[in-house]
Amino acid sequence: MKRYAVLIVGVAMLATSCSRKSESAPVPKPTAFGAAIVESSGGKQIAQTGSLLPQPVVVQVNDDQGTAVPGALVAFSAASGVTFDPANGLTDSSGQMTTNVSLGGVAGRYQLTAFIFDKSHKRVELKLEEIALGYQQTLGRGLNDQYCERCHNPESTPERVSNYDNLEVKPHPFSEGETLNKMSDADLTAIITNGGPALQKSALMPAWGNTLSKSDVQALIAYIRAVSDPPSQNAGPIYTQSSGPR
Amino acid sequence: MNGKLRSLWHKLFGDSVRSFGVVSIVFLLSLAIAPAKNFFSEWRHYQHGYLKMVRNRSDANTLQRHFQGGIQQIWLPELGVVDRCTSCHVGLKEVSLADVAAQPYRTHPVIPHKLDQFGCVVCHRGQGAATTVTEAHNSTLAWEQPILPAKYIESSCGQCHRGPLPGTPVLNQGRKMLARYGCVNCHTIKLPDGSVMKATDDPPSLSHIADKTTREWIYAWLKDPQAYASTATMPNFKLSDDDARDMSAFLIANSTPATGDTIAVSAKPSSDPAAGTSLYGESFCASCHAVQNAAGNIVGGEVGPELTKVGSKLKPEWLQGWLRNPRVYDARTAMPHYRFNDQQVATLAEFLKAKTDSDLLANVHLDPATPEQIAHGKRLVSDYGCASCHEIVGIKKPENFAPELSRIGSKAVTQLIFLPSMQHTLPDYIAGKIKQPRAFAAGLRMPQYTFSTSQIDALTTALLSLNERSTTLPPSLAVPVAPESNYQPAGKAGKLMTDMACFSCHRINGHGGEMAPDLTWEGSSVQRDWLVQFFKNPGTLRPALIRRMPRFNVTDGEADELADYIMTVYQNPAIDRDSMPLSGYPQGQIELGKQLFYGKHSCQGCHIVDVKQDKGYIGPTLTQVGSRLTAAWIYQWMKNPQSLRPGTIEPNRAMSDEDARALTAFLITQKGGGKQEVAKK
């Protein structure tokens, strides 16, 4: 019997020493408990599949009075393929916890869950959504930046002043799901290819059919669907922890 | 114990019939192992799962009809592809499965290539021939190649596509960075077409460095370049105090004076305290140079070095000489010769001298250098390969200074040494090397860069594209990139254009920068009088632009010389400048053009003709277009703008001849009439 025990221990030691996986950092011990968790920044960002979100995700833990709680343990989870750096940690002196997020390898929407346990060990969750662009949507984003952005995006940058405010008839920002989700792919194709008048809309929207190729227009529509808020039915599933790509 | 065994042996092999029976059963069982393994194989499990999932869908019939059971294979001998991935990834080609979240059943996202033509491993790596998940996706003892993580996937596009693609921003950025950050100054990268990747950074010559700056500044810079300018290209070599002391001693001792660049200007700076700021602004220095503002943001262009602390670096005499004519010190500099007068030189020099950081050199106290220190400094300068990037008198550019990276993307994992906490994969190794190069062994010389994670990912992507497949690709599959032309204009005008560094911003005949408009067809496009005026007093054509053409203080003779050359040489063969008049169009046609401008084509969305009512901010202001452009150019632009400027965002409207003529007539009447151009918002 003793011999078996020695053998088992030996095999177990061999197995652990051969394993290449780096050990995950130990979960820190919380010094305080919050009652609520809210988003500070970092939701609804756009990145290419598999890559890092441009800004970190920052969440804040509050107590039941709404005051920030330092030292509370926050953990993140999402569909497999999404990585958090770090995946858990204690809130800092301003009650915030910051993590860098890389999205999964399949294009689509990823639901991130940040959660805490309150004093009575009840789980309190915050859900955020981020958008991963695949090849076609990335192509569309490039075209959007070049041809569409300056009229369709009311936000301007110092480099590219927005033309939105100068237009008599206001264009729809591409995130405006309320309107754009009601338009079929065929309608969007028609208006991009043949201009506003094709759907009895303003001639300020020019016809791009001779400038952009058919696949360009499809890429642009794929991008518009991907960034729409609320999410478009045509953009595919939303990946959550339980229904993610394996 | 022994007795029991013996009786068991007797029961099984007691006589020949029994032993025959037992051996037969064992034999049959062993024969059944193979079919059983096949029956319980992973791919069969996934195919069953697929059929089960499909059953409840509305398009079940179509999907079931498309389904083929058994091991599937894509075989492409010329690419060396034997891919059985579609045995488990059953729904890859089913467009309707885009809404499926569970892998391996989802349809493949839209890409420009067909699965049957390229297979899977060409892009995703992994082992195509394997039929289990672990063997196909992971690196095991028998298989070297794991699946490529999604963030590096664009590297696979780069195996065939040698130039930038609109759909591969990460790869494009990584390739640019390899050239821009001087990686290829030390590491040779032979491209599959036989050429060698060239650096695009412009490290200054150190042969006359003592003219330009002090030993103390060199010391501080060597210790930490980013402390001087956070945007500095030079990486941190992590030098010890003594090494930095000796290297700075050598560089100063080794420097020879450049001829004629340090003659002090006798003129006094302007007495107006705001003169320096406004001259800096008027000269559009910020189009190329950045400065950190009070809020900590870096504002300005990236063509020249950051100037936030330039006053702590430059010697006043050198700065004046540089501002008067930079080409005296460095004949190849991207900086234009502004032709400032002496007072302007003094004013601007004083303005820049004030940009100092008192902390930068506060703790630098260097004793005079000893010959031993200088000799040691020289050895260090050779050892660290400084001459790979910088020209240094007396030190030859080292060859093969660092490992060649032409096939780094195929390097075998067994040849790599990993850090303790690292995943054992090639991409992780490359990214780790860029992130902390000195951590891998003692005595390594690769410097520390300050790249962000996404920049490291981009560089890794570009390096992974340099692999065995990219070098052994069938030539028919390679998509080459047009080599950068080395066009140079000729004659006196050509000299002027070099002197004013036109090519730092403008592109002509495939050569030059991309900040300002391409001038290849400028002679067909503009009227000569406008061009001459523009040289003397360049205004902005686009209300929303913040980077502009500086004023170069050209003489009348120089403006004429340049205008003549541009008007004669830079002509588009498809346009006869004189084929359409600049005035005298019938009123009816002009009126029709106006209606088309505001109605059918709604040009006012992007352009301004009437400053009172039009607000378009994207295209050039057209209030004076009739004095600027030729009618023939406007007409051709209406017909097909991309034929004149590939990539312009002016939509091609496939305009009828009549419309194009009417719009030309309307626009050519917009002569400005002394009215001011629209004020900046």
pLDDT exceeds cutoff 50 at B524: yes
**Interatomic CA distance for residues B352 and B319, integer angstroms:** 9
Averaged pLDDT for residues B517-541: 89
- The dihedral formed by the CA atoms of A225, A227, A233 and A237, expressed in degrees to the nearest 10: 120
The pLDDT, as a whole number, for residue B676 is: 39
**Interatomic CA distance for residues B267 and B271, integer angstroms:** 12
Nearest Cα residue to B340 out of B265, B272, B271 = B265
**Interatomic CA distance for residues B76 and B576, integer angstroms:** 52
Nearest Cα residue to B569 out of B644, B499, B490, B498 = B490
Chains A and B form CB pairs within 8 A to the count of 126
- How close, in Å, is residue A62 to chain B by CA atoms? 30
- Which of A17, A51, A217 is the best residue to mutate to test the B interface, defined by the most B CB atoms within 10 Å of its own CB? A51
Neighbouring-strand partners of residue B395? B392
Instruction: Give me the helices (H) in B520-656, please.
Output: 522-525, 528-536, 556-569, 587-598, 625-628, 631-639, 641-644
Q: Which residues of A touch B166 (CB under 8 A)?
A: 139, 142-143
- How close, in Å, is residue B658 to chain A by CA atoms? 18
The pLDDT, as a whole number, for residue B675 is: 43
Whether A50 and B653 lie within 8 Å, measured CB to CB: no
C-beta atoms surrounding A35 within 10 Å: 19
* Residue A56, amino acid: P
Q: Which residues of A touch B169 (CB under 8 A)?
A: 48, 138, 142
The pLDDT, as a whole number, for residue B681 is: 30
C-beta atoms surrounding B565 within 10 Å: 19
SS3 A111: strand
pLDDT exceeds cutoff 60 at B551: yes
The pLDDT, as a whole number, for residue A18 is: 45
**Interatomic CA distance for residues B162 and B207, integer angstroms:** 36
Structure tokens at A223: 């991008």
Measured over all CA atoms, what is the biggest interatomic distance in chain B, rounded to whole angstroms? 124
Nearest Cα residue to B201 out of B229, B235, B224, B167 = B235
pLDDT exceeds cutoff 70 at B156: yes
Mean pLDDT by 10 residues, chain A (246 residues): 51 46 68 91 92 94 90 91 91 94 91 91 92 93 92 79 86 91 93 92 93 95 92 82 61
Q: What tens digit of pLDDT does each residue of B584-622 get?
A: 999 999 999 999 999 999 999 999 999 888 888 888 889
Structure tokens at B344: 């302007």
C-beta atoms surrounding A194 within 10 Å: 15
The pLDDT, as a whole number, for residue A141 is: 94
User: Which of A134, A135, A243 comes nearest B101 by C-beta?
Assistant: A243
Q: What tens digit of pLDDT does each residue of B313-350 get?
A: 999 989 999 999 999 899 889 999 999 999 999 999 99
- The dihedral formed by the CA atoms of B301, B306, B307 and B309, expressed in degrees to the nearest 10: 150
- Terminus-to-terminus CA distance in chain B, angstroms? 101
Does residue A193 belong to the interface with chain B, where contact is any CB pair within 8 Å?
no
Residues B359-371 as b/e (b if ≥16 CB within 10 A, e otherwise) read ebbeebebeebee
C-beta atoms surrounding B475 within 10 Å: 8
More confident position, B403 or A12: B403
Does residue A237 belong to the interface with chain B, where contact is any CB pair within 8 Å?
yes
Q: What tens digit of pLDDT does each residue of B577-586 get?
A: 889 999 899 9
Averaged pLDDT for residues B537-547: 69
Q: Between the CA of residue B569 and those of B269, B446, B522, what are the distances in Å?
A: 41, 48, 9
Q: What tens digit of pLDDT does each residue of B639-672 get?
A: 999 999 988 999 999 899 999 999 999 999 998 7
The pLDDT, as a whole number, for residue B41 is: 85
Averaged pLDDT for residues B368-386: 94
User: Which of A52, A207, A222 comes nearest B454 by C-beta?
Assistant: A52
Q: What is the DSSP letter of A142?
A: H
Averaged pLDDT for residues B466-488: 88
Packing angle, helices B528-536 and B556-569, rounded to 10: 140
Chain-centre distance for alpha carbon B213: 31
The pLDDT, as a whole number, for residue A245 is: 52
Just give the CATH number of A36-133. 2.60.40.10
Q: Do the Cβ atoms of B530 and B627 come closer than 8 Å?
A: yes
Q: What is the DSSP string of B571-596?
A: --TT--GGGS-SS---HHHHHHHHHH
Q: How confident is the model at residue B3 (pLDDT cuts 50, 70, 90)?
A: confident
The pLDDT, as a whole number, for residue B573 is: 92
Averaged pLDDT for residues B373-391: 94
- Which of A139, A152, A241 is the best residue to mutate to test the B interface, defined by the most B CB atoms within 10 Å of its own CB? A139
Q: Which residues of A touch B97 (CB under 8 A)?
A: none
Q: Which residues of B touch A105 (CB under 8 A)?
A: 149-151, 153
- How close, in Å, is residue A5 to chain B by CA atoms? 23
Contacts of B495 (CB under 8 A, 6+ apart): none
The pLDDT, as a whole number, for residue B258 is: 84
- How close, in Å, is residue B148 to chain A by CA atoms? 10
Q: What is the DSSP letter of A41?
A: E
- How close, in Å, is residue B116 to chain A by CA atoms? 19
C-beta atoms surrounding B254 within 10 Å: 19
Nearest Cα residue to B612 out of B518, B676, B666 = B676
Q: Do the Cβ atoms of B215 and B248 come closer than 8 Å?
A: yes
**Interatomic CA distance for residues B320 and B317, integer angstroms:** 5
Q: Which residues of B touch A55 (CB under 8 A)?
A: none
Q: Does A135-234 carry CATH code 1.10.150.20?
A: no
Q: Which residues of B touch A22 (CB under 8 A)?
A: 421-423
Q: Compute φ and ψ for B479, nearest 5 degrees.
A: -110, 100
**Interatomic CA distance for residues B606 and B627, integer angstroms:** 20
pLDDT exceeds cutoff 60 at B461: yes
Does residue A167 belong to the interface with chain B, where contact is any CB pair within 8 Å?
yes
Whether B599 and A203 lie within 8 Å, measured CB to CB: yes
**Interatomic CA distance for residues B568 and B562, integer angstroms:** 10
Whether A204 and B170 lie within 8 Å, measured CB to CB: no
The pLDDT, as a whole number, for residue B677 is: 39
The pLDDT, as a whole number, for residue B680 is: 34
Whether B618 and A151 lie within 8 Å, measured CB to CB: yes
- How close, in Å, is residue A126 to chain B by CA atoms? 22
Residues A183-193 as b/e (b if ≥16 CB within 10 A, e otherwise) read beeeebbbbbb
Q: Is B416 exposed, middle or buried (0-12, 13-18, 19+ CB in 10 A)?
A: middle
C-beta atoms surrounding A200 within 10 Å: 6
Chain-centre distance for alpha carbon B555: 37
Stated as kind and residue range, the H or E segment containing B542 is none
Nearest Cα residue to A208 out of A134, A143, A138 = A143
Packing angle, helices B631-639 and B657-668, rounded to 10: 140
Whether B109 and A104 lie within 8 Å, measured CB to CB: no
User: Which of B103, B104, B616 comes nearest A166 by C-beta?
Assistant: B616
**Interatomic CA distance for residues B434 and B455, integer angstroms:** 10
SS3 A133: strand
Q: How confident is the model at residue B400 (pLDDT cuts 50, 70, 90)?
A: confident
* Residue B179, amino acid: A
| From A77-81, B36-40, B176-180, B320-324, the region with the lowest mean pLDDT | B36-40
Whether B152 and A102 lie within 8 Å, measured CB to CB: no
Q: Between the CA of residue B335 and those of B284, B322, B503, B533, B660, what are the distances in Å?
A: 12, 9, 10, 23, 41
Q: Which residues of B touch A100 (CB under 8 A)?
A: 453
Contacts of B240 (CB under 8 A, 6+ apart): none
**Interatomic CA distance for residues B103 and A136, integer angstroms:** 20
Q: Kindly identify which residue of chain A lies nearest to residue B606, measuring between CA atoms.
A: A163
**Interatomic CA distance for residues B633 and B197, integer angstroms:** 38
The pLDDT, as a whole number, for residue B176 is: 95
**Interatomic CA distance for residues A240 and A129, integer angstroms:** 9
Q: What is the DSSP string of A54-110?
A: SS-EEEEEE-TTS-B-TT-EEEEE-STT-EEESSEEE--TTSEEEEEEE--SSSEEE
**Interatomic CA distance for residues B238 and B446, integer angstroms:** 10
CA atoms within 13 A on the CB side of B610: 8
The pLDDT, as a whole number, for residue B19 is: 87
Q: Do the Cβ atoms of B128 and B121 come closer than 8 Å?
A: yes
**Interatomic CA distance for residues B90 and B92, integer angstroms:** 6
pLDDT exceeds cutoff 70 at B520: yes
Residue in the structure block whose two tokens are 């993610």: A244
The pLDDT, as a whole number, for residue A21 is: 44
Q: Do the Cβ atoms of B606 and B617 come closer than 8 Å?
A: yes
Q: Which residues of A touch B103 (CB under 8 A)?
A: 106, 245-246
Does residue A20 belong to the interface with chain B, where contact is any CB pair within 8 Å?
yes
Q: What tens digit of pLDDT does each residue of B343-356 get?
A: 999 999 999 999 99
**Interatomic CA distance for residues B521 and B575, integer angstroms:** 9
Q: Please, which residues 81-100 of chain A have a Cβ atom closer than 8 Å to chain B? A: 81, 100
Q: Do the Cβ atoms of A90 and A73 come closer than 8 Å?
A: yes
- Which of B111, B151, B413, B456 is the best residue to mutate to test the A interface, defined by the most A CB atoms within 10 Å of its own CB? B151
Which ipTM value was assigned to this complex?
Answer: 0.86
- How close, in Å, is residue A139 to chain B by CA atoms? 5
Instruction: Give domain limits for chain A.
Output: 36-133, 135-234
Q: Is B190 exposed, middle or buried (0-12, 13-18, 19+ CB in 10 A)?
A: middle
